[in-house]
Amino acid sequence: MIRSALMNVMTAAAIKAGRSLKRDFGEVENLQVSVKGPGDFVSAADRRAEKVVFEELSRARPGYGFLMEESGAVEGSDKTHTWHIDPLDGTSNFLHGIPIFAVSIGLEREGQLVAGVVYNPATDDMFVAEKGQGAYHNNRRMRVASRKSLGDSLIACGIPPLAAVDRHALFQTELTAVMAKTGNIRRMGAAALDLAGVAAGRYDAYWERGIKPWDIAAGIVLVREAGGFVSDLDGSGDMLPKGAICAGNETIHRLLLDTVRKARA
């Protein structure tokens, strides 16, 4: 595990927010009788976790800016550092009592992503990475998978929700193309954990559109420090502004990116 002061700050904030989420997750099952009730409850859980992360990081690194899912942008006096915070990635899973969700914290320094923490409090899985220091799952070093063939690969993806109906047709086209070449596909519902899964070698690659910076900032660092490659779906490095991502080892990343690009041509 990385023992730097920065990583200690980030993991402590994630664990504290995770305790709040874990308590709330225990109550979700009791709310399933109401359509409105669970949604309101999860929104409150999301805000509580974000408040914890914001307060912890503000105390430890005063002046850093924030970009957060719930509260948006908070400008800091230190213009060179920005936290990217998703206090509850995998909200739908959380709402339905599925223990696949995470606190995601990424740090951007002078335009470069330099550290990431993804923590699933339901399973106590902690994924961390810092630029130049490697990537770890709990206390174990992570490396991306070494497969070289799409036919042998397990690929993660994100499916656009009902609200993103304008992306449905394109996703179906891409999915059909990937299904024709790859071993199998998974949709788990939490982008941060999908990227952590690529870093850990569980998935060979992952692609998705329509995601926000706070969904992927931490995971990008995880994949890179685990020896993987990350780009947007045009092959450039504009994942955060474009809201699109492709990640994997060098070979599978290239093959998946090529397949997705040809599908939409």
CB burial of residue 161 (10 Å; 0-12, 13-18, 19+): exposed
Query: What pLDDT is recorded for position 96?
Result: 85
Residue 264: CB atoms within 10 Å: 10
Confidence of residue 69 (pLDDT cuts 50, 70, 90): confident
Q: Would the pLDDT of 98 be above 60?
A: yes
DSSP lists the bridge partners of residue 209 as 244
Confidence of residue 29 (pLDDT cuts 50, 70, 90): low
Q: Would the pLDDT of 259 be above 90?
A: yes
* Average pLDDT of the residues in 89-112: 94
Query: What pLDDT is recorded for position 42?
Result: 67
* Average pLDDT of the residues in 219-237: 97
Query: What pLDDT is recorded for position 41?
Result: 55
Per the model's pLDDT, the better-predicted residue between 66 and 43 turns out to be 66
Q: Would the pLDDT of 31 be above 70?
A: no
Q: Would the pLDDT of 9 be above 80?
A: yes
Query: What pLDDT is recorded for position 1?
Result: 76
Confidence of residue 264 (pLDDT cuts 50, 70, 90): confident
Residue 121's SS3 state is coil
Confidence of residue 134 (pLDDT cuts 50, 70, 90): very high
* Average pLDDT of the residues in 44-65: 95
DSSP for residue 100: -
Q: Would the pLDDT of 186 be above 90?
A: yes
* Average pLDDT of the residues in 228-251: 97
**Which among 216, 221, 214, 222 is positioned nearest to 196, based on CA atoms?**
222
Main-chain phi, psi angles of 88, to 5 degrees? -150, 85
Q: Would the pLDDT of 35 be above 60?
A: no
Query: What pLDDT is recorded for position 106?
Result: 98
